[in-house]
Structure 1
Amino acid sequence: MPMNSLKDIYLDQLQDIWSANTQALPVVTELGRAAHDKELSEALIDGGNGISDGLAEIEKLCNEHGIKPNAEHCKGMEGLVKEARAHGLSDEITDAEVRDAAIIPQYQRMVHYALAGYGTLAAFANRLGLDSDAAVLQKCLDETYDGDRRMTKIATSGGVNKQASV
């Protein structure tokens, strides 16, 4: 698709975030299964559910704009997923508490990519006067921030990093 307007970029970025979320979902599920800490595992399961919800919303927006959500492949998330598997699910991590501590930054890196995507899309939708789209994207952004804050709390106030440092 030629990029001749902000709307063209907006549509391209909708497809990009759909691809990013599609790639992130399986590894988030894997991280959730690998997590030893119950609070961490539950947060990752909830994160996967949030990704699924976001995928459904992005797919609806793509359909409303007459584009296929799967027309783009997000290479940025491809790299983040590869890193999450290498550093959060590695067989070389033999201690469950250490694995939990390694999982958190891998998940948060993927979440931060989504935050950038949703934030940019919401700003574009607002600028384009796509109020309904902007509301959906802002909701996705807010929920993604909530998940990131929850993960930070698990890392800082919960026992994950404390247990890994022993």
Structure 2
Amino acid sequence: MGLFSKDIASMQDLYVHQLQDVYYAEQQITKALPKMIEKATDTQLRQGFEQHLRETEGQIERLRRVFEIEGLQPKGVTCPAIDGIIKEADEVAGEVSDKAVLDAALTAAAQAVEHHEISRYGTLVTWAEQLGRSECAAILRETLEEEKATDAKLTELATAKLNARAGMVEA
């Protein structure tokens, strides 16, 4: 279904499509995170990825609750944006041989994912509120706040440690 598809005829349709999009994205993230955990060499980064994997599983459960409240079966639609972000992360990580630089690259890739999710969840919260779905908005806001917190932790880790360590590597 394209953005301007005949299947999206109302704000409700657009809201549901966005829910399906982020549901798919979260499932793809649960597949990508174990690979990132395996590649990460920094203990804090690995632990952060492990924590976010657990959070993502909880976020999927929250999305299922939103679908249930909406009277819909949980269903994803392909999200080319998250597919592209994950593909790029795989490619970049596969090209980095220095472990310190690899950790910096993995952190940047994880932040690209977080920024995508923050954008999606922020939009969903607003739309749920506008559609009078306050219970759904509250559930989605909980996930939005988790995504923002994860992004902040990644920023702190990158700026306090990982980027400097990667920058010290000689060519």
Q: TM-score, normalised by structure 1?
A: 0.93
**Structure 1 partner of 2:26:** 21
Deviation for aligned residue 1:67: 2.5
Percent identical across equivalent pairs?
Answer: 28
Higher mean alpha-carbon deviation, 140-149 vs 18-27, is at 18-27
Q: CA deviation at 1:69?
A: 2.6
The alignment partner of 1:30 has SS state of: helix
1:54 lines up with 2:59 in the alignment:
yes
- Find the partner of 1:163 among 154, 162, 165: 165
Match status 1:31 vs 2:12 = no
Contact 2:23 2:75 in 1 (8 A): yes
Quote the RMSD (CA, aligned, Å): 1.3
Amino acid at match of 1:156: T
Question: How far apart, in 1, do the equivalents of 2:88 and 2:66 lie?
Answer: 29
Structure 2 stretches lacking a partner, 5+ long: 1-5
Range moving further from structure 2, 1-10 or 136-145:
1-10
Number of paired residues?
Answer: 163
**Does the 8 A contact of 2:69 with 2:136 survive in 1?**
no
Deviation (angstroms), 1:4: 2.1
Partner-residue secondary structure (3-state), 2:66:
helix
Deviations 1:89-122 (A, max 9, x none): x0x3221111101101111111111111100000
CA distance in 2, matches of 1:69, 1:85: 28
Bigger mean CA offset, 72-81 vs 139-148:
72-81
**Could you tell me which residue of structure 1 aligns to residue 9 of structure 2?**
4
Q: Structure 1 residues 51-60 or 142-151, which shifts more?
A: 51-60
Asked if 1 retains the 8 angstrom alpha-carbon contact of 2:23 and 2:76, the reply is no
* 1:56-75 equivalent positions in 2, closer than 5 A: 56-75=61-80
Matching of residues 70-149 of structure 1 within 5 Å: 70-88=75-93, 90=94, 92-149=95-152
Post-superposition CA distance 1:129-154 (Å, at most 9, x none): 11100000111000100000000000
Q: Which residue of structure 1 aligns with residue 3 of structure 2?
A: none
Task: Please report how far the alpha carbon of residue 71 of structure 1 lies from its aligned counterpart in structure 2 after TM superposition.
Answer: 4.2
Name structure 1 gaps, 5 residues minimum.
none
Quick check: 1:45 aligned with 2:50? Answer: yes
Q: Is the 8 A contact 1:19 1:69 kept in 2?
A: no
Q: Which 4+ stretches in 1 moved above 4 angstroms?
A: none
